[in-house]
Amino acid sequence: MTGAGRLDESVPALLTDALTLYWDNPAATERLRHYLDRFDEPLRIAVAGSWRAGKSTLLNAILGEEVAPVEPADGGPLHTWYEDGPEPGATAYSAEGSAWELPVIRSTGALRVELGGWRSTQVSEVVVRWPTRVLRHTTLVEMPAVPPTGEDEEHPTAMKIIRDADAVLYLTRDGRETDLRFLRALREGTVGRSTPVNVLQVLARADELGGGRVDALVTAKQLARRQYQEPGVRPLCMGVVPVAGLVALAGRVLSEIEFAALAALAELPREELTAALLSADRFVNTQFTTVRPAGGLHAAATDYSDSTLLPDATQRRALLDRFGVFGLRLATTLIRTGATNRAGLAAELVRRSGLTELRESMARYFTDRREVLKARSALAALERVVRGDPRPGSADLLARVEQVLASAHDLRELRLLATLRDPKTKIDRDLAAEAHRLVGGNGTSLAVRLELDQDTDGGQLWERGVDALYRWQAQAEDPLLRPDQRRIARVVLRSVEGMLAELRAGWSLH
């Protein structure tokens, strides 16, 4: 908002000048044109993480449909792109650039891509087209498991694609040192080190913490807060968000048949079901003998009095695959305590899984800032080109890159949002909340920044903006505040000034 226009002008101009300078370097010119074109394309988000971190499950939960994973015959590494399309389809690409269409099988809410006998050595990547609202402004790239050390030479293609992405969702099970080493490897060059604003760390499989108890997600949230407070984590990402991917996906695709089976289980005596859910094998192999009386929890809506409606061993295995032990404990508890229909249970599962918070964070830090992040990606690519082929004139380009980084207010806003999440930031709580809102932490529209309704007229917006202007001018000039507090105030003040300038420009057009 306050600086995107300048970035939209200055960064393409830089790329155009670089094309002139590197006219005789085909690889460089191809790369620079690629990033110029990217300004008109959806935001690219790489979904990366260690082995069995739950990337495919979380990706499906974000999409709200079962599309991933796409796996080669040998189970080797494969990069899969998920983008919007008028109808489901998939295209495979070899390392040499040849392409061929893959057969796809679509069922209700699911897509299976048939790779047949193709191996990872024959297929370098697959592009899956799936018509869904989530992909209209975003392309998701599912990465293979990251190398244990995060070094380029161990997996150069993966590192290249992740660095090319505009934003990264990095999944970790416990935030170990190897994960942090990988994230540090992404901070390449001046752009990477000065603008670490395009990574969200996801504490995946959060339901496995705390022994799989129903309150496991509360424990995961506490752990995520502690992790983000670590000095070695804060400079690497915008936040740490806990998500129980399996529960999130189960809520997004919950069927009436699954709800009926869960409701039947919920009507069992608590002790009997608790004992069965002590482990996965026990749940599948338990022979339930209790016959429930007619008129149980949901008799008003559906007759569950017939004991034959209890799921058999095969059905319980399918429920276990869908929900996991934790998800089954949570779902049956929610049904007992008021989730009396499929829609209600689905909504509660999604809310409690952490997916809602993740999607809000993605919108706040990624989607709403997509033009800024695209400009950042272009600057990083330009820096790599210039440093890879220094020549007369390239030093001037690097100086202009650093000037853009220093002056782009949108990047300052993103850096401030990360700073405000740090509990060690000493600023009054109410002022911190207002600063978070004014720099776009709750959304980037004028009304949201000024805490007004979207249909508020310009006069009210101006009045609220002027009030904020005086308040933050006083903060920025207060000699009793520490220098870091005044720096925060100056960033907020610049955001408010930008809002008022936008309102003034809008009036001048009428």
pLDDT at 76: 74
pLDDT at 377: 92
CA distance 482 to 472: 15
CA distance 111 to 35: 31
Query: To the nearest whole percent, how much of the chain has pLDDT over 90?
Result: 46
Phi, psi of 456 (to 5 degrees): -65, 140
Mean pLDDT of 458-484: 92
pLDDT at 50: 80
Pairing mode of beta strands 43-49, 167-172: parallel
Structure confidence by residue, pLDDT tens digits, 266-300? 999 999 999 999 888 999 888 876 545 444 444 43
pLDDT at 193: 77
147 DSSP assignment:
P
The pLDDT confidence band at residue 26, using thresholds 50, 70 and 90, is: very high
Structure confidence by residue, pLDDT tens digits, 217-231? 888 888 888 888 787
**Average pLDDT, rounded, for the chain:** 85
CA distance 350 to 360: 13
For residue 277 the two structure tokens come to 């859910």
- Judge contact between 191 and 402, C-beta under 8 A: no
- Annotate 343-380 with b (16+ C-beta within 10 A) or e (fewer): eebbebbbebbbbebbbebbebbbbbbbbbbbbbbbbb
Residue with tokens 């709403």: 368
pLDDT value at 150 more than 70: no
Residues 6 or more apart from 219 whose CB is under 8 A from it? 209, 210, 213
Residues 6 or more apart from 229 whose CB is under 8 A from it? 422, 423, 424
Mean pLDDT of 351-376: 91
- pTM for the complete prediction? 0.85
Residue 416: HSE in the Cβ half-sphere, 13 Å Cα cutoff: 29
Structure confidence by residue, pLDDT tens digits, 244-257? 999 999 999 999 99
User: For the purposes of burial, counting CB atoms within 10 Å of the CB of 244, is it exposed (0-12), middle (13-18) or buried (19 or more)?
Assistant: buried
pLDDT value at 307 more than 70: no
pLDDT at 143: 87
Pairing mode of beta strands 79-83, 125-129: parallel
- Annotate 321-331 with b (16+ C-beta within 10 A) or e (fewer): ebbbbbbbbbb
Structure confidence by residue, pLDDT tens digits, 77-102? 788 999 999 988 899 998 788 899 88
Structure confidence by residue, pLDDT tens digits, 103-147? 888 776 677 888 877 787 888 889 999 888 889 999 999 988 765
CATH match for 41-246+357-388 among 3.40.30.10, 3.40.50.300, 3.30.930.10, 3.40.1440.60? 3.40.50.300
- Judge contact between 45 and 168, C-beta under 8 A: yes
Mean pLDDT of 463-487: 92
pLDDT at 297: 45
Mean pLDDT of 193-219: 78
Closest-CA residue to 355 (of 54, 123, 1, 131):
54
